[in-house]
Chain A
């Protein structure tokens, strides 16, 4: 090889090396940017407990506008609010062992690792808060940040403390599995146009207006559309397991659904809330299966395997005293 050939070969080698390096650098940059985008997307989906609390307050504000809140200044109502919040707080603390970060639950729930992490690490900024709605309509809502709303009509439908606990467990299931935030994240990411009601309330462009459109839109959706069927089944499933973990009778979930069925027959089409749920018969079937699974896995307390009664007199007594006339 003469000197010219050597120079050409050297130049070609240098060029190839430089191109290769540039290609590698660009690839590395692209990967780094992709990682940054992914991380940013994760951060955008991760809300602090306080952020979820304010989203829950905003959503609740629409619920309270739709159904009047029972006044805590009334002595009897205050006693009822105290009872409900003691029950909610007790269930929340005592059910911490119940798994909720399913990757897959039957045919209904499929989650990725980020979603599981968010549910596993979920913590309520100020704990559980249960409000009483002054309406005979049968409705209950579990929303973001620990807020649960239960109507007088729904409580009237319950025949025992264990049935009321089943209702609270179902709604807490929605809270602890962050169902309400699924809709908020989707709305935030896709900038879905806010619903008609929220737009009319918050026509402006300020941050507060945008926040108002989002959270009130969420409340509007919760009342008019409800959660999707998978989320309802999942709340039933978690709720049934939570009943067993907290010392209540898991069969109370079946009895509650029997009461819902009876209410539906007697009041067809009168409750928006019930109309949004899956068929009661389907729900009962899945709850019974969850109970069978607990028995098979020896997770079901022995005393509840054949229990048909409302529960010990201590529980029934305080329930009657607080809510029944």
Chain B
């Protein structure tokens, strides 16, 4: 009992508190986690923004499956969640914001049959698998009607891309966002007109 009484209880308590603080610190969400862009290159959402808001300025175009490093997650007062990220753009490293929903935990893998099977196994894998290759196969079965209809849809997409994003095949998402913002301002729907 005497030995127990002689122990430096206050020091031990301080050490325990310090240990608890360190454990709590290490248990925080990991910064620097890697995520992947799940929307198409050229989508209006595939853009690194300078601010965490809908009509912010685009500072870099993101590519599908591009790696991004998560720096911070910020839930805005408007309810929309953006994540602060770091991306590599050629030799440069840029920081900015992206919509949370455009990031996935894995790259989209395409298996031998051309199916997209993110995380799918067994029956789930069989039920998935929709991509350009499968659409091409569908068109082969009915080139006259479905084939021509798909051509029309491609034409619409090219027209939208060209008019809003400056290029029929590789639209610039920053230009698209700018055209949306201008539409809002010209119609007195957004402030800043």
A interface with B by C-beta (< 8 Å): 40-41, 43-44, 46-51, 53-55, 57-58, 60-62, 64-65, 69, 71-73, 78, 81-82, 85-87, 89-90, 93-94, 96-97, 99, 121-127, 129-131, 161, 188-189, 201-204, 206-209, 211-212, 215-216, 246-248, 312, 314-315, 318
Contact = CB atoms under 8 A, between A and B. Distances in A.
Contacts of A202: 138, 141-142
A60 B137 contact: no
B135 A57 contact: yes
Given A94-B54, A211-B130, A82 B188 contact: no
Query: How many of chain B's residues touch chain A, expressed as a range?
Result: 35 or more
Most B-side CB within 10 Å, residue of A73, A82, A312? A82
Given A85-B163, A85-B164, A127-B45, A54 B189 contact: no
6 contacts: A43-B121, A57-B135, A86-B183, A127-B176, A207-B134, A312-B187
A94 B163 contact: no
A189 to B, nearest CB: 8
Contacts of A206: 137, 141
Given A54-B132, A85-B163, A87-B183, A93 B146 contact: no
Contacts of B187: 161, 247, 312, 314-315, 318
Nearest to A52: B130
B146 A216 contact: yes
A83 B145 CA distance: 28
B38 A123 contact: yes
B116 A50 contact: yes
Contacts of B159: 72, 78, 81-82
A248 B187 CA distance: 9
A82 B159 CA distance: 8
Interface in B90-148: 99, 101-102, 104, 108, 113, 115-116, 118-124, 127-132, 134-142, 145-146
Contact of A97 (B79, B149, B156): B79
B2 interface: no
A93 B44 contact: yes
B157 A126 contact: yes
B45 A47 contact: no
B17 interface: no
Interface of B: 38-40, 42-45, 54-55, 78-80, 99, 101-102, 104, 108, 113, 115-116, 118-124, 127-132, 134-142, 145-146, 149-150, 152-153, 155-160, 163-164, 176-177, 179-184, 186-190
A208 B138 contact: yes
A41 B128 CA distance: 11
A200 B139 CA distance: 14
B181 to A, nearest CB: 8
Contacts of A58: 135, 138
Given A78-B159, A86-B182, A93-B55, 8 more contacts: A43-B119, A44-B127, A50-B116, A61-B146, A81-B159, A81-B163, A90-B189, A129-B156
A202 B140 CA distance: 10
Nearest to A121: B101
Contacts of B149: 60-62, 64-65
Nearest to A44: B124
Contacts of A46: 119
A72 B155 contact: yes
Given A40-B122, A82-B163, A122-B101, A208 B108 contact: no
Contacts of A121: 101
Given A85-B164, A90-B180, A57 B108 contact: no
Given A51-B128, A94-B184, A211 B142 contact: no
A211 B135 contact: yes
B16 to A, nearest CB: 36
A123 B142 contact: no
Contacts of A312: 187-188
A211 B54 contact: no
B40 A125 contact: yes
A317 to B, nearest CB: 10
Contacts of A69: 152-153, 155-156
